[in-house]
Chains A and B, each alone.
Chain A
Amino acid sequence: MGKTLYDKIWDAHVVSDGGDGSALIYIDRHLVHEVTSPQAFEGLRLNGRKPWRVSANLAVPDHNVPTLNRVQGIADPISRAQVEALDANCKEFGITKFDLMDRRQGIVHVIGPEQGATLPGMTVVCGDSHTSTHGAFGALAFGIGTSEVEHALATQTLVLKKSKSMLIRVNGHVGPGVTAKDITLAIIGRIGTAGGTGHVIEYAGEAIRDLSMEGRMTLCNMAIEAGARAGLVAVDDKTIDYVKGRPFAPRPEQWDAAVSNWKTLHSDADAEFDRVVELDAADIAPQVSWGTSPEMVVPVSAQVPDPARESDPVRRGAIEKALAYMGLQANMPIETIGIDKVFIGSCTNSRIEDLRAAAAVVKGRRKADSVKLAMVVPGSGLVKAQAEAEGLDRVFLDAGFEWREPGCSMCLAMNADRLEPGERCASTSNRNFEGRQGQGGRTHLVSPAMAAAAGIAGHFVDVRSF
């Protein structure tokens, strides 16, 4: 029997087999940010330990950073202390870090690939669940807790149990106006937020091969929202072309050997998966989430579900709770839902392609008066510079959108960017949990083009006919 891509990466990283269902797995790349690392560094100090291989780590502050007036520093003293703790820890242990004012600073899952620090075939970990993003490169990448951050720092390994494998094949081609975000939301709508629990998902099929690297990152980013710790896409020429020439990419004398290795990073034709799910790309429309879990999602042309039609009492209760929190009525058409704010950004959708897609919708139009704030937050300083070189900042500003500094921003509202209670947001982020974007805030997950269109219309609209 052939091997899956997951088998191949796993096998190449086994340091020792525990013999009890666990294995010690080597970690090639560890990305570090300010929120989930301070207790891990403290653990190292308390035990008199040092990082095992300093050069495997790359750090950046992203969750707490302000997206306005950055030169003035961080106003919130508690946020500032956390970013300063990262500075001090990286200095003490010699870890490479991009400072707040460095133009390479940005969201950890944007800068890893952008720098070539994420490479095909690597194991990549970070104390953040959206580490699944890096699976777009055929890397086994997953989020870990702070104890595992400390373990990875101290030993360059993790003790892991191998997951099951799931193949999600998206056959055929998506229509115009349908993006990677819509594909990933449609998948979550199909298999549920626990559908991938205990599995590593490999995404395949024509619609996945069609995606750019940015699109594949969006896709894998939300594997965790389907319950899977990691998502994977096989390496192809797009992967290799993206990596080439980046600062941390293999040096010229090692390039050919690396590429020939990377070309083996796909599942064998006769590999078997524990579960296979198939979708038809032509059936996928632009998606809008209506509830408080990413699985609560429908096509933009649909209505808000009616709990009366749900026979399972636990599910019915969940729909009722979600509608009450979201301030929605059963059977409302999605296109009648008005919004207060627009957020275009996050590790899901803040790359150059996302900003281009949003700008193409916004160009020559104006934000609806009923929309209080429409903000665009690039994923990194380099994405911001690229967008500005293309004039995208002017497009957004002319339409009444705000153009901000890079960071996680209102995806999770750890900085000053947040929803007020009851405010409704068209958001390109990844989680619509209660309170995620601010206590009492109401989040609808959409693609960048759909968020931009909602900002212009003041309510959700089908970007395909906008």
Chain B
Amino acid sequence: MRAFNVVASKVMPLDRSNVDTDAIIPKQYLKSIRRTGFGPFLFDDWRYLDPGTLDIDPATRRPNPEFVLNAPAHAGSQILVARDNFGCGSSREHAVWALDDYGFRAVIAPSFADIFFSNCFKNGVLPVVLKADEVQAIFDLVAADAQAQVTVDLPAQQVQLPDGRSFGFEINPHHKHNLVNGLDEIGLTLQQADKIKAYESRRQQEAPWLFAN
């Protein structure tokens, strides 16, 4: 997995709460059996005026000029800011793959849905929980200056604004360690193979029916 340390970038303001993973990446793109290539379909229903599918070239479609992702001032942002309960609904990891493929490295919101939150850490994308007034401060900052650079510093657990304000955030130490070092979680778990085997033999005595079928 790609490591995450410090990202400094413009910010894309998505002023919505309860952004669900169906909105982040609609169902027709889930038919892909690949992990990559979802970026052009990120927020597809909001982003384009005409419908799309996997076999329609997104370059031939009509972008919705009203949608923030299509605003030239915000192009190239690597940080997305949104409101409460970001990533709710379906467990589809394609939502994180789409954000990542588009170029987002971090998402800032007052709260996230659990499965989406967990999926981010498997893909080197950092979900940052800030207080609602701190998130509002970032929306205000971007509204005043779309080019304002915000820094997300994972080792320091801080979001830094250009005017010197700095907002601290919490993160599970396990997630932080894996993200900062870009570690492969499966490889790490397999280092505990003996413990898994020991658990299985103990459990097989206690509850043999769990291993019968």
In the complex, which range does the number of interface residues on chain B fall in? 35 or more
Assess whether B158 is interfacial by the CB under 8 Å rule. no
Q: Which of A9-45 contact B (CB under 8 A)?
A: 12, 15-16, 18, 20-22, 24, 26, 28, 35-36, 38-39, 42-43
* With known contacts A145-B122, A433-B22, A261–B207 Cβ distance under 8 A: yes
* With known contacts A20-B173, A85-B33, A119–B209 Cβ distance under 8 A: yes
Task: Name the one of B20, B33, B189 contacting A81, with C-beta atoms under 8 angstroms.
Answer: B33
Choose, from A190-198, A272-280, A345-353, the stretch at the interface: A190-198
* With known contacts A143-B91, A318-B17, A412–B190 Cβ distance under 8 A: no
**What residues of chain B have their CB less than 8 Å away from a CB belonging to chain A?**
16-18, 20, 22-23, 26-28, 30-35, 45, 51, 53-55, 83-85, 88-94, 96, 111-115, 118-119, 122-123, 172-174, 177, 185-186, 189-190, 192-193, 195-196, 199-200, 203, 207-213
A426-437, CB under 8 A of B: which get 1 and which 0? Answer: 000001011110
Given A78-B53, A156-B200, A436-B27, 12 further pairs, Cβ under 8 A: A16-B195, A24-B196, A39-B34, A122-B210, A127-B91, A143-B91, A145-B96, A197-B85, A251-B212, A314-B83, A412-B27, A414-B31
**What residues of chain A have their CB less than 8 Å away from a CB belonging to chain B?**
12, 15-16, 18, 20-22, 24, 26, 28, 35-36, 38-39, 42-43, 47, 49, 52-53, 55, 63-64, 76, 78-79, 81-82, 85, 117, 119, 121-122, 127-129, 131, 142-148, 150-151, 154-157, 159, 161, 163, 193-194, 197-198, 224, 227-229, 247-248, 250-251, 254-255, 257-258, 261, 293, 314, 318, 321, 412-414, 431, 433-436, 439
Min CB–CB distance A126 → chain B (angstroms): 8
Min CB–CB distance B176 → chain A (angstroms): 9
Nearest residue, chain B, Cβ from A129: B91
A-B residue pairs in contact (CB < 8 Å), sample of 17:
A16-B195, A24-B189, A39-B35, A43-B186, A53-B200, A128-B90, A145-B96, A147-B93, A148-B118, A148-B119, A154-B190, A161-B172, A194-B84, A197-B113, A254-B212, A431-B20, A433-B20
Q: Is the CB of A24 within 8 A of B195?
A: yes
Q: Is the CB of A434 within 8 A of B93?
A: no
Q: Is the CB of A47 within 8 A of B186?
A: yes
Task: Name the one of B85, B172, B192 contacting A24, with C-beta atoms under 8 angstroms.
Answer: B192
* With known contacts A121-B207, A155-B189, A194–B113 Cβ distance under 8 A: yes
Min CB–CB distance A14 → chain B (angstroms): 8
Min CB–CB distance B24 → chain A (angstroms): 11
Min CB–CB distance A111 → chain B (angstroms): 14
Chain B residues with CB below 8 A from A55, complex form: 211, 213
Task: Name the one of A35, A194, A318, A436 contacting B30, with C-beta atoms under 8 angstroms.
Answer: A35
Min CB–CB distance B110 → chain A (angstroms): 10
The docked-state distance in angstroms from the alpha carbon of A85 to that of B33 is 8
Interface centre among B54, B196, B203, by most chain A C-beta atoms within 10 angstroms, is B196
Chain A residues with CB below 8 A from B22, complex form: 412, 431, 433-436
- 6 A-B pairs with the lowest CB-CB distances in the bound complex, closest first: A147-B122, A145-B93, A250-B209, A145-B119, A38-B33, A143-B91
Nearest residue, chain B, Cβ from A318: B17
Chain A residues with CB below 8 A from B177, complex form: 20
The docked-state distance in angstroms from the alpha carbon of A263 to that of B92 is 35
Task: Name the one of A76, A229, A435 contacting B114, with C-beta atoms under 8 angstroms.
Answer: A229
Chain A residues with CB below 8 A from B20, complex form: 293, 431, 433
